[in-house]
Chain A
Amino acid sequence: MKSFRTASRRRTTIGLTGVALVAALAASACSGSSGGSSGGKQTLTITGQYSGPSSNTLVNWWKAAAVEFKKTHPNVTVKINNIVTTSESTYYSKLDLLERSSSTSPNVVYEDSFLVQSDAAAGYLAAMPQLKNFSEWKALYPTFQKVTEYNGTPYAMMTETDVQQIYFDKSLLVKAGLPANWKPTTLNSILTAAEAIKAKEPGVIPLWVYTGTPLGEASSFRGFQVLLLGTNSRLYDQQTGKWETGGPGFNQVFNFLATLHKDGLEEPTSDWSNPNAGTVLNTQLMPSQKVAMAIDGSWVSTQWLPGQAKPWSAGFDTYSVADLPTANGQAPGVTNLSGGWSLAIPAKSSNQSLAYQFIQTANSPALLAKYDAVSGQLPVEGNVAKNSIFTSGISSDPLFQEAVKYAATTNYRPSFGPYNQLSTDIAAVTGQISLGQLTAAQAEKTWAADVRKEAGAGKTEG
Chain B
Amino acid sequence: MPSTDSTVVESRVDSVGPRADGGRNRHGKSKARRRRQLLAGAVMLAPFTVLVGVLLGWPIVWTFLLSFTNETLTGPTALHHKYIGFGNFTNLLTSSDFISSLWHSIEYLVGSAWIGQVVLGFVLALLLRRCSRRVQAIVGAVVIMSWIVPEVIAAFMWFALLGQGGVLQEALHSVGIGYSTILTSHPILALNLANAWRGVAFSMMLYMAALAAIPRELLEAAMLDGASAWRRVFSIILPLIKGSILVDVVLVTLATLNDFTLIFTLTGGGPGNASQVLSTYMYQQGFVNYQIAYGTAVSVILLLVGVVLSVFYVRALRRS
A residues with a Cβ closer than 8 A to B are 3-4, 6-7, 10-11, 13-15, 17-19, 21-22, 25, 89-90, 92-93, 96-97, 100, 115, 118-119, 121-124, 212-214, 216, 269-275, 417-418, 420-421, 424, 428, 431-432, 435, 437
User: Contact at B4–A270, with CB atoms within 8 Å?
Assistant: no
Could you tell me the distance in whole angstroms from the C-beta of A34 to the nearest C-beta in chain B? 19
Contacts of B270 in A (CB 8 A): 212-214, 273, 431
Known: A6-B11, A14-B4. A269 touches B44 (CB 8 A): no
Contacts of B132 in A (CB 8 A): none
Contacts of B272 in A (CB 8 A): 212-213, 273, 428, 431-432, 435, 437
Q: Mark B265-276, 1 if CB is under 8 A from A, else 0.
A: 000101111100
B73 interface neighbour in A18, A96, A437, Cβ under 8 Å: A96
With most chain B CB atoms within 10 A of its CB, the pick from A6, A123, A269 is A269
User: Contact at B15–A18, with CB atoms within 8 Å?
Assistant: no
B residues with a Cβ closer than 8 A to A are 1, 4, 7-8, 11-12, 14-15, 36, 39-40, 43-44, 46-47, 50-51, 54-55, 72-76, 78-80, 163-164, 180-181, 183-184, 268, 270-274, 284, 287-291
Contacts of A213 in B (CB 8 A): 270, 272-273, 284
B49 (CB) vs chain A CBs: closest residue: A18
B15 (CB) vs chain A CBs: closest residue: A3
User: Contact at A15–B78, with CB atoms within 8 Å?
Assistant: no
A124 interface neighbour in B1, B78, B288, Cβ under 8 Å: B78
Measured between alpha carbons, how far is A96 from B298 in the docked complex, in Å? 21
What are 23 residue pairs bridging A and B, where the CB atoms are less than 8 Å apart in the complex?
Answer: A7-B40, A10-B8, A10-B43, A14-B4, A15-B46, A17-B4, A18-B46, A22-B50, A22-B51, A89-B287, A90-B287, A93-B288, A123-B78, A124-B74, A212-B272, A270-B181, A270-B271, A272-B271, A273-B184, A273-B270, A274-B164, A418-B75, A428-B273
User: Contact at A7–B184, with CB atoms within 8 Å?
Assistant: no
Measured between alpha carbons, how far is A437 from B270 in the docked complex, in Å? 14
Could you tell me the distance in whole angstroms from the C-beta of A117 to the nearest C-beta in chain B? 9
Known: A213-B272, A432-B272. A420 touches B1 (CB 8 A): no
A435 (CB) vs chain B CBs: closest residue: B272
Contacts of B289 in A (CB 8 A): 420-421, 424
Measured between alpha carbons, how far is A14 from B271 in the docked complex, in Å? 54
A115 (CB) vs chain B CBs: closest residue: B74
Contacts of A418 in B (CB 8 A): 75
Known: A7-B39, A273-B184. A420 touches B290 (CB 8 A): yes
B15 interface neighbour in A4, A93, A272, Cβ under 8 Å: A4
Contacts of B74 in A (CB 8 A): 92, 96, 115, 118-119, 121-122, 124, 420
Could you tell me the distance in whole angstroms from the C-beta of B88 to the nearest C-beta in chain A? 13
User: Contact at B44–A14, with CB atoms within 8 Å?
Assistant: yes
Contacts of A424 in B (CB 8 A): 288-289
User: Contact at B291–A10, with CB atoms within 8 Å?
Assistant: no
B36 interface neighbour in A7, A212, A214, A216, Cβ under 8 Å: A7
Task: Give me the 7 closest cross-chain CB pairs, A-B, nearest first.
Answer: A122-B78, A18-B47, A273-B271, A3-B15, A270-B164, A93-B287, A11-B43
User: Contact at B79–A123, with CB atoms within 8 Å?
Assistant: yes
Could you tell me the distance in whole angstroms from the C-beta of A428 to the nearest C-beta in chain B? 7
A11 (CB) vs chain B CBs: closest residue: B43
Measured between alpha carbons, how far is A424 from B44 in the docked complex, in Å? 51
Known: A212-B270, A273-B184. A13 touches B47 (CB 8 A): no
Measured between alpha carbons, how far is A61 from B202 in the docked complex, in Å? 51
User: Contact at A122–B11, with CB atoms within 8 Å?
Assistant: no
User: Contact at A14–B46, with CB atoms within 8 Å?
Assistant: yes
User: Contact at A121–B75, with CB atoms within 8 Å?
Assistant: yes
